[in-house]
Chains A and B, each alone.
Chain A
Amino acid sequence: DVKVTQSSRYLVKRTGEKVFLECVQDMDHENMFWYRQDPGLGLRLIYFSYDVKMKEKGDIPEGYSVSREKKERFSLILESASTNQTSMYLCASSTVRQYSNQPQHFGDGTRLSIL
């Protein structure tokens, strides 16, 4: 079974802090994704990566950056955390680069609170 592991289930940070959310997958998947989930809005794509050192902006990239130095690890960075970034963050991975109908495998999520 594919395992997508997010480093923290719950995280509390202060405004202005630099925040790192880590995600690791163990199935050698090419694609990795970061989403945020807010009530009434569904999941929204922040960034995705289809290869090491490759990244593309999703629908809501403002205030975020990402890093993919190794194939199995995809990090989401909040450069200067703000209260409107309080949310549930979900990482996912999938195989094959593009035009793939393979399912995405999700981590358990990180509930981030910015005070």
Chain B
Amino acid sequence: KNEVEQSPQNLTAQEGEFITINCSYSVGISALHWLQQHPGGGIVSLFMLSSGKKKHGRLIATINIQEKHSSLHITASHPRDSAVYICAVRHYNTDKLIFGTGTRLQVFP
């Protein structure tokens, strides 16, 4: 069983829909990262959080440390949001990042 699990693996949506991507982890962490990877391959860091909630534009990330769960929400989705979204946790002991396998999102006009 992977230490970081994401769901769903694939997601399609119509433009304007509210999107939720989930991440569950089984190890102790010091922080959780949400990353975005566009088809070209480059990865961009969206959020880093260790508690509560963060918001940036139409993106919202939440984390529940007790339940070892995080969600990434996209409000009013747009075709340009189409990408792979990756959850990664920083192991509290080794300090290394452990990555989920990603959620492929496609938003259609």
- Which of chain B's residues 69-109 have a Cβ closer than 8 Å to chain A? 86, 88, 90, 95-97, 99-102
The interface size bin for chain A is 20 to 34
Cβ B50 vs Cβ A90 within 8 A: no
Q: Which of A22-30, A64-72, A78-86, A98-106 contacts B (4 or more CB under 8 A)?
A: A98-106
Which of A40, A99, A104, A105 interacts with B97 by CB under 8 Å?
A: A104
Q: Say whether chain B's binding surface is mostly helix, strand, loop, or mixed.
A: strand
Which of B31, B40, B96, B101 interacts with A45 by CB under 8 Å?
A: B96
Say how far A39's CB is from chain B's closest CB, in angstroms.
8
- Given the complex of chains A and B, what is the CA–CA distance between A43 and B100 in angstroms? 8
Indicate whether A41 reaches chain B with its CB closer than 8 angstroms: yes
Cβ B42 vs Cβ A106 within 8 A: yes
B97 to chain A: which residues have CB within 8 Å? 43, 45, 104
Q: How many A-B residue pairs have CB under 8 A?
A: 53
Which of A42, A107, A108, A109 interacts with B86 by CB under 8 Å?
A: A42
Indicate whether B11 reaches chain A with its CB closer than 8 angstroms: no
Say how far B91's CB is from chain A's closest CB, in angstroms.
11
- Given the complex of chains A and B, what is the CA–CA distance between A104 and B2 in angstroms? 22
* B residues whose Cβ falls under 8 Å from a Cβ of A: 2, 4, 30-31, 33, 35, 40-45, 48, 50, 86, 88, 90, 95-97, 99-102
